[in-house]
Amino acid sequence: MVGGWAAEALGKLGNASESVISALLLRLEDGNEDVRGWAAEALGKLGNASESVISALLRSLEDEEDWVRRETTEALGKLGNTSEAVISALLLRLKDEEDSRPWSVVEALGKLSLKSSEVLPAVVQWIDRHQDTEYLGSGIDVLWDLVAGEGNRSPVPF
């Protein structure tokens, strides 16, 4: 667990030096799921969207632990990389019915905007599949942001 706290601290420090990024990339392979999750979160906070970081996070999307996949998803959304590989991987994650926070993928795609013609239809399909769940509001917020732009969100909460 100490490794997880160290990864979290590195993310909070905001130092995206090569040595810090290398240390966090190693933590993505740790045997402890908490360490892997904190490392993914820290990488998202540091904003380094280099090829090595994106490649490592894409591999982490396949982690056996839901929490690690969720933190990885959120990190990819924060990094803003709109490559076909990232968009495709996130679109595949939309179909993961075992995700304990399914809206995290929708939110990540929303942060990456409409760089792909596949994103908007995938979000609409996701909303349709989650009509009777507590996640519907999150999906509608993302859909609104995709269509109207985040700056146009109504200031009145529904």
The full DSSP string for 108-141 is HHHHTTTSSTTHHHHHHHHHHHTTTSTTHHHHHH
What value does the mean pLDDT take over residues 10-35? 82
Residue 72 has pLDDT above 90, yes or no: yes
Q: Pick the residue with more confidence: 58 or 112?
A: 58
Average pLDDT over residues 24-30: 94
Average of per-residue pLDDT across 16-35: 90
In angstroms, the first-to-last Cα distance of the chain is 40
Compare 155 and 83 and report the one with higher pLDDT: 83
d(CA 132, CA 47): 35
Residue 118 has pLDDT above 90, yes or no: no
d(CA 103, CA 92): 13
Cβ-contact 104, 72 below 8 angstroms: no
Asked whether the beta carbons of 21 and 46 are under 8 A apart, the reply is: yes
Which element (helix H / strand E) includes 61? none
